């Protein structure tokens, strides 16, 4: 009887051990400032990102989405993910800085541990002119973002609704 007890105990420990898979429980970037390498430009594809220590959330915004401003009005534009815009979540081996994304020669450290592209969602851009009508203020929001890992696990606790604000010049 004692042999079976130890066999069951051993099997229980063996089956309950972690296989080392990365477990992502939350993605929270609401309190992190938006960054970019070059200032956003109207009528082009824009890449913006948020860094939270060893994680990054990258938004590749569809060309023309920031071109929808009208002085005196609030204009709302939507861009579908992944068909028009793309959101990517990356986990790095160590803390990452803006230089990782912006240097002409990419750094070799930290390395990307996991990269997950959003499978569904919407980018909403609300555009208004500033007080002196010299710049458009674009408020970028994400909704319905759905990430699915390589092991087909869906990340459900997403806190990434407010991506941030960027400005572009009002055309003359």
Read off the pLDDT of residues 115-136 as tens digits, 9 standing for 90 and up: 999 999 999 999 999 999 999 9
Q: What is the three-state SS of 3-41?
A: HHHHHHHHHHHHHHCCCCCCCCCEEECCCCCCECCCCCC
Average pLDDT over residues 135-155: 88
The per-residue pLDDT of the chain, averaged, comes to 84
Total residues found in the chain within this entry = 172
Between CA 121 and CA 118 the distance in angstroms is: 7
Average pLDDT over residues 72-99: 94
Read off the pLDDT of residues 159-169 as tens digits, 9 standing for 90 and up: 667 899 999 99
Average pLDDT over residues 42-68: 92
Helices (H) and strands (E) in the chain, counts: 2, 10
Task: Answer yes or no: is pLDDT of 17 > 50.
Answer: no
> What is the DSSP-derived secondary structure letter of residue 66?
G
Would you say the C-alpha torsion 34, 37, 41, 46 has a positive or negative sign?
negative
């Amino acid at each position: 009887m004692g042999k079976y007890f130890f066999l069951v105990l051993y099997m229980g420990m063996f089956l309950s051990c972690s296989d080392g898979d990365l477990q992502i429980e939350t993605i929270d970037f609401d309190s992190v400032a938006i960054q970019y390498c070059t200032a956003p430009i109207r009528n082009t594809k824009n890449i913006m990102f948020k860094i939270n220590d060893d994680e990054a959330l990258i938004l590749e915004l569809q060309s023309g989405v920031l071109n929808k401003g009208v002085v005196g009005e609030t204009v709302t534009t939507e861009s579908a993910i992944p068909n028009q815009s793309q959101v990517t979540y990356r986990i790095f081996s160590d803390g990452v800085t803006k230089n990782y994304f912006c240097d002409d020669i990419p750094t070799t450290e930290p390395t990307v541990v996991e990269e997950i592209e959003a499978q569904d969602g919407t980018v909403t851009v609300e555009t208004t002119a500033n007080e002196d009508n010299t710049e458009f203020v674009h408020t970028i929001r994400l909704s319905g973002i759905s990430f699915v890992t390589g092991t087909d696990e869906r990340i459900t606790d997403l806190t990434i609704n407010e991506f941030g604000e960027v400005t572009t010049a009002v055309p003359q």
